[in-house]
Amino acid sequence: MELLGTVSQLWRYPVKSFQGEQVERLELRPGGAVGDRLFGVVDPAAKKVLSAKRYPALLMASARLLHDGNDTDVILTLPDGSEHEATDPALHATLSAWLDHEVRLEPPPVDVVFPMEMHTGMSDESTPIFDWPGPPGTWLDLADVHWLTTASLASAEALHPEGDWDVRRFRPTALIESADEGWPEDSWTAIELGGLRRAHAHPPVHDALSSPARPRDRPDDRHHDPGSPRQQPRGVRHHRPWRGSGCGRYGVQPLAVC
C-alpha cells in the first residue's frame, strides 16, 4: 500500500457537536475511537439528539476525558468557562438554561435511534429541514472516523486565503501530514493507520464544524466565539460544489485493530 503521509494530530470528541481534545494516542474500534461521542445533548420530548448542524451554539462548549479508560469521567466546559462533570445530576438543568431548550446529556440509546435535524442543503439554512437517523447505538453521524490531510487544508487556503482554516473547523479524527498537492483524500479507497488495517474510505457528505461557527484561540484553548458566518468554507465550496461541506475522507467498517 502506498505511503500517504504521517499522522500529525489525533482528536476525540467526548460530547457530540462539542469541541474536543487533541490526544497523543487513540484506540480505534468498529464504531469509532474509544472515548469519542460518549454523550449527546438530547431533546427528550422530541426524542432527538441536538447537532451543531442545527444548533451551532453547541460548538462554543468543549469536552475532555479526565482519565483514559473511564468513559463516564468527562468534563464539560461551557462558553462562560464553567466546568461540569458529565455525571452531575444538575448538569441537565445547566445545559437547558444555557441553550434555552429543555435538554439532557445522555449516552446513545442501545435499542432506539434518536435522529438529528439538518438542512437538505447541508450548510444552506434556507433549505428544508429533515431528520437524519444515525447508526444505532452511537452518536456518530455516519462513519467511524474522519481523516483529513494538511494538503487539503493548504489547497483550500490557496483558493480562499482570507478564510480561517483551523483544523478544528473540520473535526477530524486524524490530521495527516501530506507532501502531496491538491486534495489527495479524494482518491483514497482504503487506508492503513498505525494498528488499523484497511479501513474503507469514502467522501464525507457533510461536516458539522466546517459550516457553523469556528473556535477561536484563547490561552486555555477551551473558549470560543462565533467567528465566521454559518456557511461552507469558500475553498471547499469551490473544489466540490456538488456535495455539501465535507473535506477529507471518512473511514468505515470493517476496521481491524492490531
| Positive or negative torsion for Cα 152, 177, 257, 21 | negative
Q: Decide if 208 is inside a domain.
A: yes
Q: Decide if 223 is inside a domain.
A: yes
Half-sphere exposure of 248 (CA within 13 A, CB side): 26
Which pLDDT score, from 0 to 100, does residue 77 have?
Answer: 98
Q: Decide if 249 is inside a domain.
A: yes
Find the domain containing 221 and state its range.
6-257
The closest alpha carbon to 4, from 147, 153, 180, 173, belongs to 180
Three-state secondary structure call for residue 58: helix
Strand partners, 106: 40
| pTM for this predicted structure | 0.80
The closest alpha carbon to 20, from 204, 201, 173, 195, belongs to 173
- Classify residue 239 as left (phi > 0), alpha (psi -120 to 50) or beta: alpha
Which pLDDT score, from 0 to 100, does residue 68 have?
Answer: 75
- Classify residue 31 as left (phi > 0), alpha (psi -120 to 50) or beta: left
Mean pLDDT confidence for 85-111:
96
pLDDT > 90 fraction of the chain, expressed in percent and rounded: 45
Which residues, 6+ apart, have CB-to-CB distance to 80 below 8 Å?
none
Spatial separation of the C-alpha atoms in residues 184 and 156, rounded to whole Å: 12
Cβ-in-10-Å burial (0-12, 13-18, 19+) of 24 comes to exposed
Alpha helix locations (H) across the chain?
A: 91-99, 150-159, 234-239
DSSP state of 112: S
Spatial separation of the C-alpha atoms in residues 199 and 189, rounded to whole Å: 9
Q: ω before 135 within 30° of 0 (cis)? A: no
pLDDT digits (tens, 9 = 90+) for 129-153: 999 998 889 999 878 888 899 999 9
Q: Decide if 1 is inside a domain.
A: no
Q: Decide if 59 is inside a domain.
A: yes
Which pLDDT score, from 0 to 100, does residue 13 have?
Answer: 96
Which residues, 6+ apart, have CB-to-CB distance to 50 below 8 Å?
16, 17, 40, 41, 42, 43, 58, 99, 101, 103, 116
pLDDT digits (tens, 9 = 90+) for 69-89: 667 799 999 999 999 999 999
Domain count, the chain: 1
